[in-house]
Amino acid sequence: MHIGLDVTACTSADGGIGRYAEELARALLGRASAGEHIVDGLVLFTGDQHPPWLSQSLQAFGPGSALPHVRVERYVPRGHAALWANLFLGPRLARTGVQVFHSPDTLGFPFTSGRRVALVATIHDLIPWIFPKFVTQRHRWIRCAILPFVVRRADRLIVDSQATARDLLELFPEARDKVRVVYLGVDPRFAPAPTEEVAALRSRLGLPSGYLLYVGVLSPRKNLERLLEAYAILRRAQTHIPPLVIAGKRGWLWEPIIRKVSDLRLETHVTFCGFVPDDDLPALLTGAAAFLVPSLYEGFCLPVLEAMACGTPVLTSNRSSLPEVGGDAALLVDPEDPGAIAEGIRRLLDDTASRNDLARRGLKRARAFSWEATARRTLAVYHEAADQHQVVRLNRL
């Protein structure tokens, strides 16, 4: 079986989708380079530039390797990668010999393809459908127009969590036989960082010690305005509350979040440090007294697991996939109640036994998620898709 995987998101600012595509590709290549014959060939479809990690990963494949037919297809010469994939990738798939093609997002799913090519798509969340106010009108229109086609055309649909599976099947009950849950993983680099690395990062970013931390895009879905309200409640009750550090790029409707800091007079207590590179995240997470992510909706939320893997206690929401990801290793709160968020933070700060117990549980839980397991389960979906596609083709003859 020859597999095609779209990794164009790895060369853009697509955030979690880019991370997903990269880690899945790395895990597939890693399993093959370790001597495991996983498939007969793998074609990685890229954009104008190769991801930085790709050349190094491909060096493992030479004559006699377990996966001798690994190659890169550059198919986006100009313009918007997703649009090019939607319109022009399909006819090219058959010429590359691909039998199963995986699109790591619904944007980029080919509108057409060869009759012999089985199609797999990953649906990470249903935000444009469930919370349309959280995205731009243009984004909502594009996503909502494409998703029904993807659901109908794909042979298999991968989702990141049981929560996303439920959301998808409420909208498209006819897709029940196609949907497969494949959890994401934690990169091994996420582990408690040495004290000197934490100190060096704090010095470089100008961060205080023992801070509270949020990492992620600044957008309404992340519920940062209520987090700031909860933080203000804490500061009014206890003046010794650690500073709050917010790390991440600015997303849609980020301005009200900045204004909220001013409205609550928290300018000297809240630090925005912008986007932090992946290599710095383990030290940033390790240095935090607690990791806070009271999102209103998440398809999975990798940062929760990454914080756990660094030994940092986590407070998160009791909504969508977050209880599923955090399990008994996270403190769950009502994200719509600033008072409940404040009480949860206070508990983490004041109850040393509870904080240490959550940290211990988090380390254990994070070890249960790996990208190798993600790759193994995804490969099983590829085989299902190929078999299903063959049955459908034979029935049409």
CB 155 within 8 A of CB 385: yes
Give the contacts of 176 (CB within 8 A, at least 6 positions apart). Answer: 169
- Tell which residue, 392, 381, 376, has the closest CA to residue 185: 376
Phi/psi of residue 254, nearest 5 degrees = -80, -20
- Give the contacts of 204 (CB within 8 A, at least 6 positions apart): none
Tokens, residue 102: 């995986």
What residues have CB less than 8 Å from 83, skipping those under 6 apart?
Answer: none
Q: What share of the chain is helix, strand, coil (3-state, %, to 5)?
A: 50, 15, 35
Pairing of strands 100-103, 212-215: unpaired
CB atoms inside a 10 Å sphere around CB 123: 23
Q: Please count the other Cβ atoms lying within 10 Å of the Cβ belonging to residue 114.
A: 16
* CATH value of 195-366 in 3.90.420.10, 3.40.50.300, 3.40.50.1000, 3.40.50.2000: 3.40.50.2000
CATH of 2-185+371-396, one of 3.20.20.140, 3.40.109.10, 3.40.50.1820, 3.40.50.2000: 3.40.50.2000
pTM recorded for the entire structure: 0.90
Residue 82 has a pLDDT of 61
CB 3, CB 31: distance < 8 Å: no
pLDDT at residue 78, rounded to an integer? 45
Contact 93, 41 (CB under 8 A): no
d(CA 333, CA 102): 36
Q: Is the dihedral of CA 281, 135, 7, 165 positive or negative?
A: positive
Distance CA 266, CA 311 (A): 28
Per-domain boundaries in the chain: 2-185+371-396, 195-366
Predicted pLDDT of residue 253: 84
C-alpha 268, offset from chain centre: 31
Look at residue 133 in the predicted model and tell me its pLDDT: 86
| Largest separation between any pair of C-alpha atoms in the chain | 74
Each residue's pLDDT tens digit, 6-23: 887 765 445 678 889 889
Phi and psi dihedrals of 360, rounded to 5? -65, -45
Q: Two tokens at 18? A: 């880019």
Q: How many CB atoms lie within 10 A of CB 122?
A: 26
2-185+371-396 against 195-366: fold identical: yes
Mean predicted lDDT score pLDDT of the chain? 87
Distance CA 105, CA 82 (A): 9
pLDDT in tens, the chain (397 residues): 888 998 877 654 456 788 898 899 988 887 666 556 666 778 888 876 667 777 767 766 555 555 556 777 776 544 455 666 666 777 778 778 889 999 999 888 888 766 788 999 999 999 999 998 888 888 889 889 999 999 999 999 999 999 999 999 999 999 999 999 999 999 999 999 999 999 999 999 999 888 999 999 999 999 999 999 999 999 998 878 999 999 999 888 889 999 999 999 999 999 999 999 889 999 999 999 999 999 999 999 999 999 999 999 999 999 999 999 999 999 999 999 999 999 999 999 999 999 999 999 999 999 999 999 999 999 999 999 998 877 665 555 4
Q: What pLDDT is stored for residue 148 in this prediction?
A: 95
